[in-house]
Amino acid sequence: MRGKDLSGEVLEDRYRVLERIAEGAMGAVYRGTRLNIDRAVAIKVMHASLPSAMEGRKRFEREAKLMARLEHPHCVSLIDYGLHGAKPYVVMELVRGRSLHDALVEQGKFEITRAIDVMRQVLSGLAHAHEQGIIHRDIKPANIMVTPKAPLGLHVRILDFGLARMLEASTSVSNGVAVGTPSYMAPEQCRGEELDARVDIYACGVVLFEMLTGKKPFIAGDPIAIVKKQIDQPPPHLRDIPPGGDYGALEDIVARALSKSAADRFPSAVAMAEALEAAVSGRPATAEPTMVLPVTGDPSSSASKEKTVTLAPPSASMDVPITVGSSVIQKPPKPGSSVRRQLPVSRTRWFVLAALLALGAGVAFVVVNYDDWLGAKKPTEADAAFTRVVDVPKPPDAAPPSDPATDLAKQASDLVAAGKQQAAIDSLVKARKVYPDSAILALTLGKLYMGKLWWADGIANLRDAIKLDPNVKEDDEVIKLTVRGFLMTPSYDYRLANLLIEIGPPAKPALAEAAKSHPNPPTRARAESLLRRMH
């Protein structure tokens, strides 16, 4: 232990520390609770043994500021920040599950499809971090949490941005000293050189290698020997690790990610994710130029060099078989229309329904099962397969019926507000199967996908929403998310461009503003090009 165990203490009358759950180079992580609202949280407190003047304290405080900028389903979010006994602490959401490291220790390696799914989620989270100007610098299985999700999948969260640094920093925070975990460090990181986002691409290559084979590419008896191998020794092929096998396109993907030169690696997290998606789907990966954004700072300094920023493509499909209510699934009634009830009816009983409908014209009544009334046998499963809709006129003073699709969309929004974005997406995927003609469900799901940077799924759902309700074209959030995606993808994305063309005039002001004032010349040119297409 590097410092006093804070279990049982209360931090600034706001957080009660319950138990220590992990410890790292800079601080200890505790399970805690937010007083008054009893919310479970994770609390990271800087080690008491680190003097305030040391670089470790500055790095810890920087972690809090960086994490506050991360808002993504695959990145752990910062909740609060404070001081306890002159030592800083950060409060994060408590991620339930286990580390990828523990999962690999237990399983040895992953099936190819699962390894790709996990890595694409990691790349999605890194894409968001890189977009904010943040590189992680310590991607490894111990810093990746996995939580089971239906059906038999894993939801990934990236932990510990404690070694992250700003892309626009003109000098290395380590001042020429290699900082990181040797087995996952890129060659330039091992040499203590200035880094960019491609150092995370290298680490992802190591993690993917480990998930596929159960082994790290470089193994040695001491950290210095591993560092030397990272710098000088070519990585092994996947097929060379017993029991071997044919990994197809993954062989080239891993080899490119593990290139000794950063220039030879994937230029962005999204480029690597797209290559993985192509490996799964069998289609060719796109090979277009990578967009770069300038880093803010003094134009004369090295900090002003252009840096790669990244976004990530959609993850694997989340199709889930569902059952809603009973075996008969009903579409929602429109407000103001009569309530419609589905009843199981035998083919031999149509005359009963016809008579009841004739007698009940204009009068509210209850339809009873005629066979039950006569004491006859119950309908068989075959009988129940036949249904007819019976109108039951709504009493004049009754409140308008609620729209189940709207209610489901609201429930999903509530889940998002509670920080359960993946649960919201899963619920909307199910709901869309039941109510495929609901514009609000398609719109809500499309926005969530676009916010998560999963363009293909987001575009598909937004297009459905526009077909069902053309007014969606004027939704400010839809325009903002689509323009943002179009401007920040690494290459000209025709899917996003065509969606903006479909949206039409409502999207022009945002594009015109980008064409006029965006700090990156290639991005301005991209916006201008699309505006010309829209005229």
Would you please indicate which residues are annotated as catalytic (active-site) residues? Answer: 138
Q: Residue 249 half-sphere exposure, CB side, CA atoms within 13 Å? A: 16
DSSP element (H, E) containing 200 = helix 198-213
Cis peptide before 243 (omega within 30 of 0): yes
Backbone angles phi, psi at 465, to 5 degrees: -60, -40
Cis peptide before 313 (omega within 30 of 0): no
Backbone angles phi, psi at 450, to 5 degrees: -65, -40
Helices (H) and strands (E) in the chain, counts: 19, 15
Pick from 155, 162, 106, 115: nearest CA to 134: 162
Per the listing, tokens 């916006």 go with 527
DSSP element (H, E) containing 343 = strand 339-344
Residues 423/312, Cβ–Cβ less than 8 Å: no
Backbone angles phi, psi at 38, to 5 degrees: 55, 45
DSSP element (H, E) containing 95 = none
Residues 306/296, Cβ–Cβ less than 8 Å: no
DSSP element (H, E) containing 46 = strand 39-46
Q: Give the span between the Cα atoms of 335 and 49, in whole angstroms.
A: 65
DSSP element (H, E) containing 92 = strand 87-93
Per the listing, tokens 């503003």 go with 513
